[in-house]
Amino acid sequence: MNDYSFDHAWDMNGDYNWKTLVDNYNECYHCGVAHPGIAATSDLKTYKVETKGGQIQHFVEDKPGEESGLDVAPTFFFPNASVTMTTKYFYLMRVVPTSETTTSMQYEVYRHKNATDDEFEEVDKFFKQVESKDKGLCNAAQKNLNSGVYVTGDLNSINEKGVLYFQILLKEAVVQHRQGEQKDGREIWPARRMAARYGIEEEIDFC
C-alpha cells in the first residue's frame, strides 16, 4: 500500500436503496452483458467468491492470451464499503444511504507510483464506466422493486454466494439491534445524537 498515493475523490447519487447496490456489487451475473470490458479479458467461468469475517472477496482469471495486466482483486467489507485493487490503481467505495430509496456512492482513487499517465487514465476511465453502468442497473432494479411485481426466490449458494453472505450478516445485525431495543424498552438510533440527561430527570418526569 505504501506504493500508492491519493489522486482524487468523486461521487455519484443513485435512486435506489443502498442494499440494492450491495447486491449488485457482490454478484457477477450481469458482467457478461453489462460490462463488455470485463468480459473481453476475464474468463467469467472462473469467477468465484470467498467469504470470511465480514469480507466478500472476488476472484476471476484472465482469458488465455488476453492478460489485462491489472490483476483485479475486489473485496467488499460489511456493511457498506469496498476496495478494488489493481497493479497500477485502486479505489475505495463507500455506500452511504441518504434515504430509504436514495444512495450516495463516494469514491477515493489511489495511483501506483510506477503508473504512467496513460496507464492511470485508461484504468480510471474503465472503472468509472463500470461504476456508472452499475448505477443504471441499480436504478432499474429499484424501479422493479418499487412496482410491487418482483417476487423473491432462493439464492444460489454458489453463483450468489456473496449476496447470500451479505444478507445473512444483515439479518443478524438487524435481529441483534431489535433485541437490544426490546431489552432497553426503547428505540435505538445509533446515528442520532442523544440529549444529555444529567440533572434534568425532574423536568423529564414533569413533561
**C-alpha torsion sign, points 69, 106, 20, 132:** negative
Grouping H, G, I as helix, E, B as strand and the rest as coil, residue 196 is: coil
Pick left, alpha or beta for residue 53 (phi over 0 → left; psi -120 to 50 → alpha; otherwise beta): left
Mean pLDDT of 97-107: 96
pLDDT tens readout for residues 14-31: 999 999 999 999 988 777
Structural domains of the chain, with CATH: 4-161 (3.90.380.10)
So what's the pLDDT on residue 1? 80
Q: Would you say residue 147 has pLDDT above 60?
A: yes
CA 186, CA 173: separation in Å to the nearest integer? Answer: 17
Q: Which residue has the higher pLDDT, 16 or 41?
A: 16
So what's the pLDDT on residue 101? 92
So what's the pLDDT on residue 64? 77
Q: Which residue has the higher pLDDT, 83 or 33?
A: 83
So what's the pLDDT on residue 102? 96
**Range in 14-18, 41-45, 79-83, 171-175 the model is least confident about:** 41-45
Q: Contact 134/25 with Cβ under 8 angstroms? A: yes
CA 54, CA 79: separation in Å to the nearest integer? Answer: 8
List phi, psi (to 5°) of 62. Answer: -70, 150
